[in-house]
Amino acid sequence: MTNTLAYGTNVIEFYKHSDEELKTLIKQREVQYFRNCMSPAYPDLGVNVALVSEVPLTQALNELAGWFIQGYTVVTSLCRPLYLSVQLKKPATIVDADLLVLAEEARAEYTASRYTRNAEETRRQMEFTITSRAKAAAAAAAKAEAEHRASEEEFALADLLRAYSPKKTSMAK
């Protein structure tokens, strides 16, 4: 079975598109973006970038100057004898571009999530229909069995009455 996001063939659209849900999801992704700090260990988009350099301070500062030229600003920094650790904030142009990417990702995630919810609801409704039909069929079969048993009991009683009823003797001699 192919899993295309098409409604009307295998999946019913119980949950219609909601702009409010989509806006809420986008807002959640934006909040996460502004709290997140990107690094090689955490590659998710974030407004801040963790820069750790284990080269001599002169080279680390030159590398840091390259980031400044791109528009990044320092949020926090820590310098120890063996490494330089700086948290940089992205420039507004990059932040705006990242927010557009986040909005597109959120739309795709919302569409997939809504399709999944609709597929699950379709399966649930199908199970409900199947169960209802099975109960109706079982009730009909039980009713037919009861009617058949009642007619068989009537036949058996009539047969026993014929077999064991006192015989009328003829009076004519």
Q: Is residue 55 part of a domain?
A: no
* Cβ burial 145-170 (10 Å sphere, 16+ → b, else e): eeeeeeeeeeeeeeeeeeeeeeeeee
Q: Is residue 16 part of a domain?
A: yes
Give percent of the chain with pLDDT exceeding 70: 94
Q: Is the pLDDT of residue 53 over 80?
A: yes
**How many structural domains does the chain have?**
1
Question: pLDDT confidence of 83, banded at 50, 70, 90?
Answer: confident
Q: How far apart are CA 30 and CA 21, in angstroms?
A: 14
Q: Is residue 74 part of a domain?
A: no
Residue 20 structural domain: 1-47+90-163
Per-residue confidence (pLDDT) for residue 79, from 0 to 100? 78
Q: Is residue 151 part of a domain?
A: yes
Contact 39, 108 (CB under 8 A): no
Q: How far apart are CA 36 and CA 46, in angstroms?
A: 4
Q: Is residue 3 part of a domain?
A: yes
Q: Is residue 170 part of a domain?
A: no
Choice among 100-104, 105-109, 132-136, 157-161 with the minimum mean pLDDT: 157-161
Choice among 24-33, 123-132, 159-168 with the minimum mean pLDDT: 159-168
Q: Is residue 98 part of a domain?
A: yes
**For 110-133, what is each residue's pLDDT tens digit?**
999 999 999 999 999 999 999 999
Per-residue confidence (pLDDT) for residue 84, from 0 to 100? 82
Give residue 8's region: left, alpha or beta (phi > 0; psi -120 to 50). Answer: left
Q: Is residue 128 part of a domain?
A: yes
